[in-house]
Every structure is written in C-alpha cells, then in structure tokens.
Amino acid sequence: MRPDILNPLFADVTALKGIGAALAKPLERLGLRRVVDVAFHLPTGWIDRVPRDELMASDAGRVIAITLTPREYRTSSGRGPTRVQATDAEGNYVSLVYFGGNSGWAKKLLPIGEPRRVSGRLDTYGQELQIVHPDLGEPEEEFREREAIYALSEGLTSRRMGALAAQAIERAPVLPEWIDSGLKATRGWPDWREALARVHADPADTVARARLGYDEVFANQLAMTLVRQSTRARRTRALAGDGRLRDALKLPYALTGAQARTVREIEGDLAQSAPMLRLLQGDVGSGKTLVAAMALLIAVEAGGQGAMLAPTEILARQHYDTLRKLLSGLPVEVAVLTGRDKGRVRESTLMALAAGEIDILVGTHAVFQEAVTYRDLALVVVDEQHRFGVAERMMLQAKGVRPPHLLAMTATPIPRTLTLAQYGEMDVSRLDEMPPGREPIETLVMAEDKLDAVVDALGRHISDGGQAYWVCPLVEESEKSDLAAAEMRAETLRRRFGERVGLVHGRMKPAEKDAVMADFSANRVAILVATTVIEVGVDVPNATLIVIEHADRFGLAQLHQLRGRVGRGGGKSRCLLLRGAALSETSRARLALMRESNDGFHIAEEDLRLRGGGEMLGTRQSGEAAFRLVPPDQLADLLQCAQDDARLLVDRDGGLEGPRGQAARTALYLFDRDAGVQLLRSG
C-alpha cells in the first residue's frame, strides 16, 4: 500500500489551483494526470534573457526584456501578420509581429500609448528590428533572466507550466532519505525536494538534475533487484529434457556457435529449481525462433507445457506456422490462441490445454486471461520483449502451479547500458552471429525527387518474379496519418501495377489483414504497401526489396527492424531509403550508418549516441514508462552507481525492512516501481 506521506503528490491533477476541465485536457495529452506527473515534468531547456533599457541592433539574435510603448497598428489583408509599431524610452522603433490574422487580439494586449514589459528574440527584418510573438507583462514586471522551457501541448505555455510545477512542489512533502549517506555526500547532491525545486527554477542545474535522475534509476534498479531476489528464492520444477525430441529435429543446417552456446545456457537454467529469468537478444535473422523452439522442446521432453507470447496477432500466427513446420513429424501438439478466436474453436483449445493435450500454445495476451488454464505450464517464451514490462513478467509467474521458467526475446538490439536499465533482473544471452549463407542487405539512400525512377526499378523487380514492401510512415502529424499516406501510395501504385498491389495496416480487421498477408506469401500480391505494422512478424523469403518513404524521420532502431523484413531467403536483398530534401545533421548521420552497417548491435549503440536515452526508452521501444528524469548523457554513470547501491541495500542494509529500506520503499512508490514491493508481499 502506498505510504500516506505520498498522497498529496498522487492526487488528481485537478487538485492544483486553476486546473479545470479545459486545462486538464492539454495536461492529459502530455500524460500529466496526477500532481506528481506535473512535478516530474522537468524543463527541456531554458531561455536566457538580457534586460535592456534601449533597443540596440547589436542584440539581434538575443532574447531581451525591455519596456516598450505601442504607437501604431499595421494589419495585413487575409491571414497576414499584424505588426504593432512600438518604441523604447529613447524613441527607437521595433515591430511586434503576430501571425494568425487576429488583429483584435494584438490590439487588446497592446493598447496604444500604454507601456508594456516585453520579452522575446530581437531580430532584423530588412532595415527594421522586430520581435515575433513576444511575451508580455506589466511595465514594472521583471521577467526572470533565466526561464524554463517545457514540452507543451496546445493550450499551455511554459510560464503556465512552470506555475503549475511550483504548486506541485509546494505539495511535495519532505521525504526520508533513501540514498546512502556516503554516496550523497561524495556527489554533493541536495535533498530530493530541494533538487526538484532547483531544477524547475534553474534547468541548467546539473547537480540537482543528476540527483533526480539517480533517484529514478535507483528505484528502477531496486525493483529489479527485488524481483530477481524473489524469483531466485522461489522454487519450481527443474526441467531436464532427455533430448529425444531435439534429436529427432531434421534441420537443414547446423546451429551457429552463438545458437549452440545459448541453448546450453538455457538448458542449464532449466535444470535448476530456481525459475529461469533470461533475456535472449538477437538481431533480425539470427535464429532466435529456433533457439526458442529448442527451449520449448526441453520443457515438453520433461513432461511440461510451453507457451509462446507475441505482442501482435500477425506475429503470433507467424510463430505458430513456423513452429508447426519446424516440428512437423514430431509427437508435439502445437496450437494458437488469439483474441479473435471465439466460440467452439476457443472452447476446444481451452479444454485441450487444461487436459494437457496441447504441448505448446502460441498466442497474444489472450494466453494469460483468467479463463486460460494449463495442466502444467513449465516454460513461457515472450517474444518482442520490449513491448512488455516488469508487471507482465511478474504476471507470468502466477500462471502456473509453480512459477514457470521465463525466456524473453527481442529482435531489437539494445545497447548494453539500456539492457541493464530495462532488464537488470535478468540473465542475458546474445546471438551475435548470423547463420551461414545470409547475405548482407544492400542499403541505398535516395532523394524523394527520384520517386519515378524508384517506381520504374520496382516494376523491373516484380517483372523478374520478385516481391517488395513499400512502407509509408507518418508524413506530417498535422497533414495526414500513416494510414492515409499508405492508402494514397497504394492507389498510385495500383494505377501502374493493377491488382498486384496489396495494402495492410493496423486498423484492418484481423481476417482482412490475414487475407492480404496470405496473398503476399503466395505471391498473388507482388507489392505490399504497409504502415509500420510490418515492423515485426512478417516473413516472406521471396520479398527481396523494401522501399521506406520519409526514412529520415525514423530512428535507427526502427529503420533496422523494417529493413529486416527482407534478406530472409537466398540471394541479394535491397533496402531503398527515400529521404526528404532538407536533412538535419542527425538524420544525415543515421542514414549514412544504415547504408554502411547491417550490424544491429552496432546500430543500437549509435542510435543511443545520436538520440540519447530518452527516445530509446520511450513507450514504443521499452514497453514500460520511460525514464522521465534521467539526463541521457549521465545514464551509464548513474546506472552502475544505482545498481551497486540497490544491491548494498538488499545485502547489507536489511532490504526494505531496515531504516533506509523504509525510505527506499517510499521511493519505489514515488517512481511507480512498486511492483517489487507487491511481489515481496505476494511471495
């Protein structure tokens, strides 16, 4: 149960003064539903203002604060800008410019002849000085020389967000200290509440930011340490397979060294009475599914059942088909269960599962609904682990008669620092070797004005019997959705290639999606236009070309995943990255790296370097709440320190029961990492 001392912070955001239904909506869009969310919505940057008594052309490019008096309004026809001519105390002129066509609004804010305190970036436009959309105050009001800038949603300003954060900090209690006293003194860190106030007051305060970042990483690492401790303390059935099913597998190739090593590691884990908790990382095409199949066969050889969980229906059915082909001829019953299975089909599957007639069940989250029972669930394989969090990993432990062994897999190579941050309670295996015969995918970067040439090349490709993907990501958030872009591209390509063009997207009904995918797999459809729904779970060896539009708008990790849809059979595969005309330096570096490297682990490390930890740890890739407070450039340092301190707390200081442990328990709840506390209580 959450400590009472935290209740003021966990109140609804409407507990803050001035937040009604209208203001709650933009806060909701930012994910700020509680007072603590507002307190933890840290500034993303700041504005340094230069106070001035007089306008000077030499200040062009700076943000200044100055008292000005409006003298004249100049409005444009239509939706042109409104210009308010104003003077400083010396009579020097400047234009205050407002876009949007609402001249009445500007006139109301800046009455003629009434001085106003104005702040904004001073620029030159032709021969005159101007400030676009300045901040305004009363003549005697002094703007702060350094003002925080926040991530915003329509209807909010940074100044308003700062005022709400100040209210949230006022409600924040003084909390007991959870950091080891020696560590805190060495780092020179302030108390938690002081650090929070300091960061909102001065976003450049790196010491206070490091303290808050450490607190969040520490809570995360402590939760993982507790989960690992609880898991290791529990007992389950050791699984010792006799090899009869694995020996009967007729594989057309030998396991790679990395696959053989990983299977041995898994076999050793399964033979223990402590439940296995292992993460298997493998690049696209490295053979994770075969390793998972071997692990599942060990469980079946030992008389248990296995379950394989996938995040999407497409991926679940792909695994089902793959396992059926791989295990054909073996006395192993494989079934599939997803949300779309209803009525008699579903009931029949559930009855067979409970009776032990199904050895391996493949499915989506449906395989963990309360109505789904197993005779003896011994091993769970979770694919695309980055879509699931610690809470889901804990839920798995409660499904079997005894806690099942757990093998988590991800095809998204994760930098070592982030692996430790997200999966610190798990043992890690890496498939860092590709099966023989896999040719590297040739990656080309082309400007979007070469689109006609790309379509011509696509025509030659399918005329030779090949197949291709065409991926349409989000074009402009305010302009059109990824679905609209995909529909338009599909229509354009159909005018050229007719019914050989198919379309698949996430909003299609499962049966419609399956029908299109079946046509693509059977080569009745030669070109599959898709949104990023194909990022995982599509395996068509004959598809050896992928075109990705607006590739410069993606991070490296997702581009690498999309590229992995080709190169899955024999022969040469190509990936065409279509880029926009204007590229940032970061986008240019990303595309260059994609062209140069097929190594997912190297790409992941570079992605972290180019983008920082925040985006890598976002909801889409991590499956859990992102780190909100951790400075990306300090993550590695804070992570190792927090891991050591968490182990010290558990091993030396009595865990959550000692004096520091009670404070640490508060930190777990404060940072929404209380799953570790719940697990200890249930254990």
Q: What is the DSSP string of 39-68?
A: HT---SEEEEEEE-SS--GGGTTSEEEEEE
Angle between the 390-397 and 675-682 helix axes, to the nearest 10 degrees? 10
The pLDDT value recorded for residue 480 is 42
DSSP-derived 3-state class of residue 600: helix
**Cβ distance 392 to 383 under 8 Å?**
no
**pLDDT at residue 614, as a whole number:** 37
Q: Please, what sign has the CA dihedral across residues 289, 294, 298, 301?
A: positive
- Signed CA dihedral, 416, 417, 420, 421: sign only: negative
**H/E segment holding residue 530:** strand 527-530
E strand or H helix at 462: helix 451-463
* Predicted pLDDT of residue 671: 92
CATH number for the region 244-431 comes to: 3.40.50.300
Q: Is the dihedral of CA 179, 180, 186, 191 positive or negative?
A: positive
Strands 128-132 and 116-125: antiparallel
pLDDT reported for residue 239:
95
Alpha carbon distance 95, 84 (integer Å):
6
**Three-state secondary structure along 118-150?**
EEEEEEEECCEEEEECCEEECCCCCCCCEEEEC
Q: What are the E-state strand segments in 175-286?
A: 277-282
Q: Which CATH number fits domain 54-143: 3.40.920.10, 2.40.30.170, 3.60.9.10, 2.40.50.140?
A: 2.40.50.140
Alpha carbons 334 and 319: distance in angstroms, whole number: 10
Q: Indicate the pairing of strand 116-125 with strand 135-137.
A: antiparallel
Question: Residue 394: which residues within 8 A CB-CB, separation 6 or more?
Answer: 227, 675, 678, 679
Top-tier CATH class for 442-597? alpha beta
pLDDT value of position 158: 87
| Cβ contact 540:520 at 8 Å | yes
The residues of the chain scoring below 70 in pLDDT are 78-79, 100-103, 384-401, 416-418, 420-422, 424-425, 437, 474-484, 533-538, 570, 609-626, 675-683
**Quick one: residue 424, left, alpha or beta (phi over 0 = left, psi -120 to 50 = alpha)?**
alpha
Per-residue CA distances from 288 to 30, 94, 383, 601 (Å):
37, 65, 9, 15
pLDDT of res. 264: 96
Query: So what's the pLDDT on residue 630?
Result: 84
The token duo for 380 is 């769970």
Q: Which two tokens stand for residue 119?
A: 């702040």
Determine the 3-state secondary structure of 378 from DSSP. strand
Q: Give pTM, 2 decimals.
A: 0.67
Q: Is domain 1-44+150-173 annotated with CATH 3.30.457?
A: no
Stretch(es) of the chain classified as CATH 3.40.50.300: 244-431, 442-597
Q: 168-190 as b/e, with b when 16 or more CB fall inside 10 Å? A: bbebbeebbbbbbeebbeeeebb
CA distance 622 to 615: 10
**CA dist 116 to 88, 138, 142, 159, Å?**
10, 5, 11, 17
User: How far is Cα 171 from Cα 36, in angstroms, rounded to an integer?
Assistant: 9
| Domain ranges in the chain with CATH number 1.10.150 | 1-44+150-173
Other Cβ atoms less than 10 A from the Cβ of 355: the count is: 9
DSSP element (H, E) containing 622: helix 619-622
Q: Residue 658 class from Cβ within 10 Å (0-12 exposed, 13-18 middle, 19+ buried)?
A: middle
DSSP state of 324: H
> How far apart are the two ends of the chain, measured CA to CA in Å?
15
In contact, 378 and 304? CB cutoff 8 Å: yes
- At residue 514, the pLDDT reads 79
Strand partners, 207: none
Q: What pLDDT is attached to residue 624?
A: 38
**What token pair was written down for 354?**
């409970």
CATH 2.40.50.140 location in the chain: 54-143
Give 406's strand partners.
Answer: 277, 380
Strand, helix or coil for residue 575: strand
